Structure formats: C-alpha cells, structure tokens
Structure 1
Amino acid sequence: MADRYKPMRPPAPLPGADLPVVVIAGRPNVGKSTLFNRLVGRRQALVADTPGVTRDRKEGVALVRGRHVRLIDTAGLEEAAPDSLYGRMRASSESAVHEADLVLFCIDARAGITPADEHFAQWIRRQNRPVLLLANKAEGRQGTASALEAYALGLGEPVALSAEHGEGLTDLMWEIAERLPQPVSGGQDDEDEQDNPDAEADERPAGPLRVAIVGRPNAGKSTLLNTLLGEERMITGPEPGLTRDSIAVTLHDGDDTFEIVDTAGLRKKARIDETLEKMSVSASIEALKMAEVAVLVLDATLGVQEQDLQIARLIEREGRACVLALNKWDAVEDRAATRKAILDRLSISLAQMRGVPVVTFSALTGVAVHKLLPAVRDAWTVWNARVPTGELNRWFEDMLERHQPPLVDGKRLKLRYITQVKARPPTFVVFGTRAEQMPDDYKRYLVNGLREAFDLPGVPIRLQTRGTKNPYADR
C-alpha cells in the first residue's frame, strides 16, 4: 500500500501507567463492583445480586481529590482449592493486592462480620500493604451502627458508606487521598484538573489503539490476552463462559500503545436466557462499538460456525476493522485445507470481510502469537485510509467506461463524480442524476473495485449516493 494511505497515529501515552494503584477487595457480594462504578464515574463493571459476578480484575482510572488513581475491582475472596474456578479467582485477586499502593477492604455492614471477613482480614494484615476498611451497605442509622462492628477486624477505623445510594463517598475520597503515596511529578494531575475540571479520566481522544477480542465461548480469547501480556491476568480454564465482564488492559509493544478488551463469549440469542448473561453480551457489544479493531477469535479445529458469521456481521455492521485470529492452530492436521475452507465460507457468506487479514497461532503455547499485534496495526491503517479525490475520480471514470450505469425505469443513471467523505471505515459518496436509485449489484461492483484498486482488504466500505436535482424539472 502506498505511504499516502498510511495516516500517522499521534503518540499519546496512557495516563494510568505510573498512577498509584488502589485495589478493592473483600468476599463476594459486598458491593465491590458497585463501589468501583461509583469511583470511576460510570457503569463500567457488571453489577447483579448474584454472588461472584466479577471473575477477572477490572481496571479503570478514577479521580480522587484532584489526583488520578488506577482503580482495580477484584473477584470475591473465597476459600477454595487452587485448581478450582474460585481458587483461580482468589489467586487473581491476591495478585492484585500484592501490587496495590492501597487496599480498600470491603465488608457488608448489613450482614455483619462473617468468618470469611475475619479470615481474609488476617490475610491482608500479613501482606504489609496500606489498608482502608470500608463498611458498605451502611445506609441509614442502623447501617452506621452496624458498621462499628468492623473495628473487631483490627484494620483501623471503618469508613461507613453506601455505594448503591452514594452515601459517604466524600469521606471515602478524603481517606483515600490521605493514604496515597505522594506524587513524584509535583502535582501535574492537579494542573490538568484545573484546566479541564469536567474532563472524564477515561476520555483520551488521541489515546491507545482500541482493540476488542470477540468470539464464541471457549475459543481462547482470555488465554490469548494472557499470552500477549505474559501473565495470568484473566481467569482461564476448560469451563466455557468464564469471562463475564469486558476487561480492558493496556499493552505497549514498543511502537504503539494498545487498549485491549477481553469480552464475554457471544452465544446465539436463543440460548441466552439469564439476566446476567444478557448483561455480559451487552457489555461485549458495547466494547465492540468502542473499539477500532476487532479481533475475531475462532477455534480452528471447529472451523467457521454460524455464530462466528453472526459475530463477523456484527463487526461489519458496526464498521470496525477486523483481524481473523485462528486459535488452536497447532491441533489442526490439514492446515492448508482448513484455512481455505474458512476463507471460502467468509467470502461466500460475508462479502465485506473479503481479504480480511488472518493470523494463525496457539494461544495456549504462545506459538506465533507475536504476529497478531502487527496485523492489528495494519488493519487499523487500512481502516483509516483516505484516497485523494483526483485519483478517486480517475478510477471512477474508468469503472463507468468498463461497465456503464444501468437503466432504471427505462432511463440510464447519470453518475457524475465520487468523493470520500470520511474514514474509519472508508466512506464514499457518488453524485449524479437519480444516483439514489442505483441498484445494489452496481453498488457491489463499485465497492469491489474500490477494494481492489486502492488496497482496502478486510474493512467495511460504505458507499452512499446523492441525486442531483434538475433545475428545469419544475418548469
């Protein structure tokens, strides 16, 4: 592809890299995710009455008394065998506590002190990390009185609050700010906040390249993200549907900063009947809408299933660049035939995915995973492509000569010119007399020509039409 089609991505480091780390910990269903959402200022984590909704660590940037902090929501601390799902969830939470500058240990004031609270309070005291004790669900006079029981945990004076109702958050902000390590930069966060006090911490117009990892359950999405990060960041295992929420992490590869979101597996609508799963699917679709590039992970041993095609259509409908990631490639016997079958199925069932970049790897062993991020970067470049108007119209004239516009109601369409109105994805408008009546097959002819002539593989191409009015029509 010529250099003129490669826009330069403005460098913008993510502000969360060197921020103090605040971790919310506690047993399940004490309101950790609700508190997380309150502190980051939006519904970023799934919240439900079911215990154990949060399984993976959820990160966000919160503004606390003029300072930005990296806030981490963790799975509930539970006693379980190390190899079990809850054991793996606890290990992930313990890992987050070990890197914390401050731990917010949360209990349920309405339920009182439980043996699990006492057990994990003792464990946290041994970690030698600063701890702030929170008595959540302490709304009203009775809740405040119940919060005093938390003194028995030996973690200092509890902060009574109600994350659900927003009570006590001001006091909590002050307490967190007093316990944070002093900033090295000399108050840069304060200056930024004065310049733009209404700016949201997560709004980074020139920020990282946003990537969503999507696919069916058990395709290996979380294993892929762990391999990219080089650590067991996500909960993985043979059980399908382990990931419930959309988890964003930041990754630097030396050239770019990526914000990669691992999403819950998308099943057929007919099989989704639980409220929690509906929330997970909504979070996955929202993550896809916010992404620039979607990595569609397929289990290469199963080939392309109908649900894979539905997800690919969703990516195309949202206008996102796409990279096809064929996982478990080491278990495929006839690789040439498998690749051909997958690409043929896509080209037949989804013409807009024609030419989509394909990366084959094994997320479990890490073989060839390094090829993924360069493919993502290349797909992003195509997605941002802009074609000069002069060159575009020379191509357009040639296309009209090769295959002149069709007759509609006995009259031939008179197409005048074409222009690109936007990128992300590439969007073009054709102007001419009665251009709005252009048949779909002629639109496909032009779209395929655009894709081939200007090297735009694998990205959605939008083609719109605008009719020109005859000035003598009303005379």
Structure 2
Amino acid sequence: MSFTIAIIGRPNVGKSTLFNRLVGQKLALVDDQPGVTRDRREGQGRLGDLDFTIIDTAGLDSGPRGSLTARMQEQTEAAIAAADALMFVIDARAGLTPNDRAFADFARRANKPVLLLANKSEGRHGEVGIAESYALGLGDPIGISAEHGEGLGDLYDALKDLMPEPIHDDELDEDDAEGEEIDPSRPIRVAVLGRPNAGKSTLINYLLGEERLLTSPEAGTTRDSIAVDVEWKGRKLRVFDTAGLRRRSRIDDKLEKLSVSDALRAVRFAEVVVLVMDAQNRFEEQDLRLADLVEREGRAIVLAVNKWDLIERTPGAIGALRESADRLLPQLRGAPLVAVSGLMGEGIDRLIAAIEMAHGTWNKRVSTSALNRWFEQAVRANPPPAVSGRRLKLNYVTQTKARPPSFVVFCSRADAVPQSYLRYLTNSLREAFSLPGTPIRITLREKANPFAHKAKRKS
C-alpha cells in the first residue's frame, strides 16, 4: 500500500519546485507568479530508498463560495483527506505571514502527521525564517532549498520516521530518529570522499576483504557512487564509494559532471563522511574545499590520511598532522584524524573507531539546564560587544535538534551580534560538551517585544 503525502502551504512558497524535486521530473509548472498550480497533481516520489505518492496542491487561499479560488481550496482539501501525512511549506526568506499561521491551524485540524519545511533557506537570509517557524507549533522545522536540493538528508530522516516500513532496501538502510539512542545494530551510512586517486576504492576493498571495486593507478576509475555493506568486527556500515572530485574549473567532461553530482548526493545522504587524503600530498586546496563542503552539509567527518605506508615515519608525525588539520580547518577543530594504508590494512581499526566516535558526537544532545549553565558562564567570561553604544542582551539557549547539534540563542538585536562572537560561542560549546570536529549550528532568534504594538499605535 502506497504512502501518500500532500504538499500544502500558501501560494508561491515553492511547493511545485519541491514536487518536481521529489518525483525527479519537471512535471509541475513553476513560475515566480503565485497561483500557477490549480489542480492537485499526483506523482511517484522518491527520496533515497523511500517510495511514496506525492500530491502537489494549489496554494491555500480563501475565496467566495463557487469561485475559482474556492474550488482550488476544495481540491487541496481533497488531497489532504487522501494523504497519510502533510508537508507544510513556508518561505524562509519571507518569514511567517498571517496566512501561514492561519493555515498552520488548518493543518493541525487535519489530525495527520505534519512535516514543517522552511523552503528557500539557503544562505543567511533563510535562518531568520527557520527560527520564526517554531512559533507555528508544528515541531522542528526542516530547512531545505527545493530548487538547489539542499536539506534533503534531513527531510529523509524525518520522513523515514513517519513511514510505516521501508518499501525496499536497495540503496540506503534504516536511519536513527533524531534525539533517540543510537541503535548499534543499524548500519552507519558512510560516504568516502576525496580527490582522484587518493585510494578510496582500495580502502573500501580492504574493508570488504575482496576486490569488489575497480582500482587503478589511473585517476578517475570510479564514476558511479557504489554502495556496499561492510561489517568490521561486529560494526555494520553502509559505505558509498564516490568519484574523485577535482576543482570545478578543471571539469569539462559531461560524464565527470554527472559523477560529481552523484558523489555530492552520496554526501547528502551520508551520516559520516570519510575524507581520504593522499599522505604524499595532504591538505591540498581541494581537500580543504571538500572538508568545507562536508561541514556546510552538516555531516560528521573523519579525516583519513591514506598511503601512510609510503611515508617515512618520524617521531611526532601524527601530532604534526593534527596541528595542520586544526590550523587549516578551524570550523572542524578536533575532527578525528587517522593515518591509514588501504593497501596494507594499517590503521583500519582506528578508522572504524573514529567513524563510530564521529557518529556518536553528531547525534549528541545536551540538556537545556546544562546548556544554560554553560551559557551564563560563557557570556559572563566574555560579554558580547556593544554595537553603536547599545548593549546586546543574550537571554538563553536551547538545543533544537541533533544530526548535527543545532542550537537557538534567544537575544535582543540578533542582526547586530557579530560573527566573531558566534565563533567564540561555537568554540566554547565545542569544548564544554565534547563536540570535537562535528558541525555546530547556532541560530539567533529575537524575543518578541511586548511593547511593539504600543509604539506602532503612537506613531
């Protein structure tokens, strides 16, 4: 029996773009003009290994009985009645509108599971809308960009929990629910990423104990992202071998472009990314770009320096690697770093342990009471700077989700808090709660001003 999802929301928030993204084809017309979609449209959607029926609906709007707008509303209501779950879409860049709040009540009355999607959330402008959407009372928002395909990993995690059972298991395995205890019997999804000829396939072959993946001294042997199941001393992994990624300016071949796209998709659906570097040419510019990509995608990361058997061993070599990693990748300070040889099998036990550690940190939750004790001490030790002679007031902090650990700081004048102070809070948070290397998200949210309506009345 197919699981059915209806996409609902006010006009022009990107419902049809999301529909096209999930069905993998441009079936629904998309335009900047609101109200393009009128009839409900059904398609077979797929996200990872999840198959479902998806319904695109007209933007929720009100109108006199018998009018075109009213009939469009009836089509939407019919779609909601036929659905098992709803995707309620808002425009993160525009922020909440009165219509969003009204239709959130409409969604609640449907008495069906609701996924709150903050679309168009790419870039800093979308962060405010994501934070505002908590006020709708529909649970944690999922920041996505339907146009650019961002946030689909988080959407997959939430949707997986709603569906009664996996339809089939050909690419990805069951995932952990956010905030729940990690089930060691479930395989960790691991993407192996790196520049061409860094030894990714050789490393995976050693884990498998067989020549399952093609390897060659020639760079670019791997084209597709191949998924294989690995069990190493009782720990199950679902490992994705990816094509080597060169700088974009050097990619001309159409097939290579498709391979790169496939590799990036594997990263988005991974839980842990193992970034493989060549020990003889480590921390090159492309390695740093790939590490930054993993951080921006919000995935846990392990740095694997491969071909270690070709390096002359000197005292302090690993310490020097660690120092280089922290200096060149400050946004991932403390990320697990392992020297390995995929050909000779050196360091494999340490690599698996590092993957487990990174996965555990990525899933970590911190109690609100402990967070706010830390927060008071951090702000007292280093108060935020005054801006234009006015003091910034930081009130309290809460963790909104794990995978990666994400926090909301409630404050006054969120737009005036400098990035340097956010970096200070991030580093302090990382040290206080043992979050080495994992991406950390801190969003600023202004508390509502209870006197704002009085000021407007006077003016």
Q: Distance in 2 between matches of 1:240 and 1:357?
A: 26
Secondary structure of residue in 2 paired with 1:407: coil
- Structure 2, unmatched stretches of 5+, are 1-22, 26-47, 52-162, 176-185
Bigger RCO of structures 1 and 2 (CA < 8 A, at least 6 apart): 1
Q: Is 1:303 aligned to 2:271, yes or no?
A: no
CA contact under 8 A between 1:221 and 1:297: conserved in structure 2?
yes
> Match of 1:365?
344
Contact in 1 for aligned 2:49/2:168 (Cα 8 Å): no
1:280 aligns to what? 259
2:205 matched to which residue of 1?
A: 226
Task: Check 1:270–1:338 CA distance in 2 against 1; reply closer, same or farther (3 A cut).
Answer: farther
Q: Residue 375 of structure 1 aligns with which residue?
A: 354
- The answer for the alignment partner of 1:247 in structure 2 is 226
Shift in alpha-carbon separation, 1:289–1:370, aligned structure 2, 3 A: same
Which residue does the alignment assign to 1:465?
444
Question: Is contact 2:196–2:243 with CA below 8 Å preserved after alignment?
Answer: yes
Post-superposition Cα deviations, 1:337-368, rounded to whole Å, max 9, x if no partner, equal 65445434432332121101011111111122
- Report which stretch shifted further, 424-433 or 341-350: 341-350
**Mapped contact 2:191–2:241 kept (Cα < 8 A):** yes
In 2 relative to 1, CA 302–409 (structure 1 residues): closer, same or farther, beyond 3 Å? Answer: same
Q: Determine if contact 1:436/1:467 at 8 Å carries over to the other structure.
A: no
Cα deviation per residue 1:438-458 (whole Å; 9 max; x = unaligned)? Answer: 110110110000000000001
Supply the distance in 2 between the matched residues of 1:428 and 1:470 (Cα, whole angstroms). Answer: 21
Identity %: 50
Q: Which structure has the greater CA radius of gyration?
A: 1
For residues 199-214 of structure 1, the aligned pairs below 5 Å read: 199-202=167-170, 204-206=173-175, 207-214=186-193
Q: Name the residue aligned to 1:216.
A: 195
Contact kept, 8 Å, 1:415 with 1:435, in 2: the verdict is no
With normalisation by structure 1, the TM-score equals: 0.57
Equivalent position SS for 1:322:
strand
| Code of the aligned partner of 1:234 | L
Residue 256, structure 1, aligned to residue 224, structure 2: no
State the alpha-carbon separation in 1 of the partners of residues 173 and 240 from structure 2: 16
Correspondence 1:398 to 2:377: yes
Give the C-alpha shift of residue 198 in structure 1.
9.1
What amino acid does structure 1 have at the position aligned with 2:236? T
2:392 aligned with 1:424, yes or no?
A: no
Deviation at 1:405, TM superposition (A): 1.6
| Residue identity in the other structure for 2:347 | A
**1:266 and 1:289 mapped to 2: Cα distance?**
15
Corresponding residue SS for 1:257: strand
**2:296 paired residue number:** 317
Q: Equivalent residue for 1:132?
A: none
Task: Tell me the SS of whatever aligns to 1:294.
Answer: strand
Please give the per-residue CA displacement for 1:112-141, whole angstroms capped at 9, x wherever unaligned: xxxxxxxxxxxxxxxxxxxxxxxxxxxxxx
AA in 2 matched with 1:388: S
Residue matched to 2:98: none
Q: Taking structure 2 as the reference length, what is the TM-score of the superposition?
A: 0.59
Q: Specify whether residues 366 and 391 from structure 1 end up closer, same or farther in structure 2 by C-alpha distance, changes over 3 A only.
A: same
Number of residues of Structure 1 aligned to a counterpart in Structure 2 = 288
Match of 1:251, SS state, is: strand
Inter-partner Cα distance in structure 2 for 1:197 and 1:279: 31
Q: Deviations over 1:215-261 (max 9, x none)?
A: 00000000000000000001112111100110000112354321100
Q: CA RMSD in A?
A: 2.5
Say whether residues 1:326 and 2:305 are aligned partners.
Answer: yes
Distance 1:422 1:288 in 2: 20
Q: Where does the alignment leave 5 or more consecutive residues of structure 1 unmatched?
A: 1-40, 44-59, 64-194
1:225/1:204 CA distance change after superposition, 3 Å: closer
Give the distance between the partners of 2:270 and 2:49, measured in 1 at CA.
Answer: 18
Paired with 2:400 and 2:202, the residues of 1 have a C-alpha distance of 39
Are the counterparts in 2 of residues 300 and 338 from structure 1 also a CA contact under 8 Å?
no
Quick check: 1:444 aligned with 2:423? yes
Give the Cα separation in 2 of the matches to 1:42 and 1:468.
Answer: 40
Comparing 373-382 and 333-342, the one that deviates more: 333-342
Say if 1:283 and 1:391 are closer, same or farther in 2 by CA, change over 3 A: same
